[in-house]
Every structure is written in structure tokens, then in C-alpha cells.
Amino acid sequence: MLKMSFLNGYLQDKVYMESLSGVSHDSEYVCKLKKALYGVKQAPRAWFEKFSTVISCLQFVSSSHDSTLFVKCTDTGRIILFLYIDDMIIIGDDINGISTLKTKLAKQF
């Protein structure tokens, strides 16, 4: 199983947070986030945008019925990928294609 999270999405909006305890600096300063963190309300959307871009580059097509369902037809068969929050289910009859997909996604995320 691939271990992915919302931590890989880049934020489009400016998001600031108070510094974590143990970080020494003036209390009047805050941190500007470059990437999403769990708990930031923009994190799911940022992660999904990055994921959609990566999976589209791998020639998957998003379903017109469900934006979290992606399909790729190959010479060997079909690969279906379904997202639920930050988990995914990969099924299909192209076993080599599924293995290659897992490797490529592990490198990206």
C-alpha cells in the first residue's frame, strides 16, 4: 500500500500559522506555509490538484461521473483507481500496469 498524505500539495493561497512550541523566535512572527499540512483547510484540495496532475500525466482519465475515479485502458487491460480522502484503491486486469503505477506513484509522493 502506498503511503500518501495531504503533505504533498502546494498551496495556491497564502496560509500562515503560529510557530510550533520549541521553535525559538519572536512571538510576533508567524510562519508562511509553502506546502499543505494536516489540519489546514486547503490541504485536501491542494493534494487532489497535485494528484490529478500526476495521474493525468500517466494517461489516466477522470470519470465524468465521479471526479475521484480515474481509468486507464492499456493493450493488456484496464486499470481503475479510486480515491477516498487520501487513500486509494487500484484494481484492474493489467497486473504489470498496476505494478508500474504503484512504483511511479511512490516516487511522486
Residue 84's Cα: distance from chain center in Å? 11
Q: pLDDT tens digits, residue range 32-76?
A: 877 666 666 676 777 788 889 999 999 999 999 999 999 999 999
Residue-by-residue DSSP string for 17-81: EPPPTT--S-TT--EEPSB--TT-TTHHHHHHHHHHHHHHHTT-EE-SS-TTEEEEE-SS-EEEE
pTM equals 0.70
